[in-house]
Amino acid sequence: MFVKAEWSCNLSAKLDLLAAFAEIARGLGNAHRLDLLEHLAQGEKGVETLAAKSGLTVANASQHLQALRRVGLVVGERRGKQVVYRLSGDDVLDLVAALRTVGERHADSVKAVVRDYFNERDALDAVAFQVLEQRLRDGLVTLLDVRPPDEFADGHVPGALNIPLADLKARLAEIPSGAEVVAYCRGPWCVLAFEAVALLRQTGRDAKRLDGGLPEWRRAGRQVAGPPAI
């Protein structure tokens, strides 16, 4: 079969444009950078904080942040001695969410990781925002924020109880017994909530993950308690 070439027209304009979009995609094309974006989705942060939270050296985190800034996914602002980074807009959250949707639906590698590391039932058995709100109103549920206290302080779902995952074992007594527990953390794939649910179930509690973390809650236009608004 012979097919005539059809790219007679302004090919370089098109390729330049697509190359610009491709550059943005490559900005997302690294696990550490996706991790940094998840942390930045909780709120703006300095380089050293981000490096510590994502387990990178400061120099390396700085380079990744500059890569993200170069393609416009984050913006950095000098504030005194520090440079504070934040997401450049809500559309970045939408982009990462779209990436996750495709990944969940299609990529075998994602399915394999979920199967290997998480209980597959836990992954599917997440509570939607609307359901949570209904049960919170009815007092049927304890909402647990398992992120570190600094992120909790920067903003959290109203009514949530903050017990970081690291302390959860020691502070089980603080969780009212009887009611169902719903845990959330940084996002739909943040491991903190997965592990919290696993631990709570081991101790005989009725625990579920919230389907989405604080950034998704905020993005859905819900009220956020605690911080000065962005």
Partner DNA sequence: CGAACATTCAAGAGAGTTCTTGAATGTTCG
Partner DNA sequence: CGAACATTCAAGAACTCTCTTGAATGTTCG
Binding positions for DNA, 47-76, rule CB under 7 A: 47-48, 56-60, 62-67, 76
Tokens representing residue 165 in the block: 């995952």
**Position 83 contacts DNA (CB under 7 A):** yes
185 is catalytic: yes
Catalytic residue among 67, 68, 165, 185: 185
**Position 10 contacts its own copies (CB under 8 A):** yes
Answer yes or no: are the C-beta atoms of 74 and 87 closer than 8 Å.
yes
**Position 3 contacts its own copies (CB under 8 A):** yes
Name which of DNA, its own copies, none residue 57 binds, using a CB cut-off of 5 to 8 Å depending on partner kind.
DNA
DSSP assigned state of 55: T
**71 or 190: CB nearest DNA:** 71
**Position 29 contacts its own copies (CB under 8 A):** yes
CA distance 10 to 37: 36
Window of 45-53, 99-107, 183-191, 204-212 that interacts with DNA by CB under 7 A = 45-53
Letters for 130-149 (x = contact with DNA by CB under 7 A, - = none) are --------------------
DSSP assigned state of 154: T
Name which of its own copies, DNA, none residue 76 binds, using a CB cut-off of 5 to 8 Å depending on partner kind.
DNA
**Position 59 contacts its own copies (CB under 8 A):** no
CA distance 219 to 230: 12
- For 164-181, give one letter per residue: b (16+ CB within 10 A) or e: bbeebeeeeeebeeeeeb
C-alpha of 24 from chain center = 19
Q: Which burial class, exposed, middle or buried, applies to 19 when counting CB atoms under 10 A from its CB (0-12, 13-18, 19+)?
A: exposed
Beta carbons within 8 Å of 11's beta carbon, 6+ residues apart: none
Answer yes or no: are the C-beta atoms of 18 and 26 closer than 8 Å.
no
Contacts with its own copies: how many residues (CB under 8 A)? Answer: 76
Window of 5-13, 22-30, 132-140, 202-210 that interacts with DNA by CB under 7 A = 22-30
Applying the rule CB under 8 A, the residues between 95 and 134 that interact with its own copies are 95, 97-103, 105-110, 113-114, 116-118
**77 or 94: CB nearest its own copies:** 94
Location of structure tokens 């950095």: 76
Minimum separation from the CB atom of position 82 to DNA (A): 4
**75 or 172: CB nearest DNA:** 75
**Position 80 contacts DNA (CB under 7 A):** yes
For residue 14, list its beta bridge partners: none
205 sits in the region (left: phi over 0; alpha: psi -120 to 50; else beta) called beta
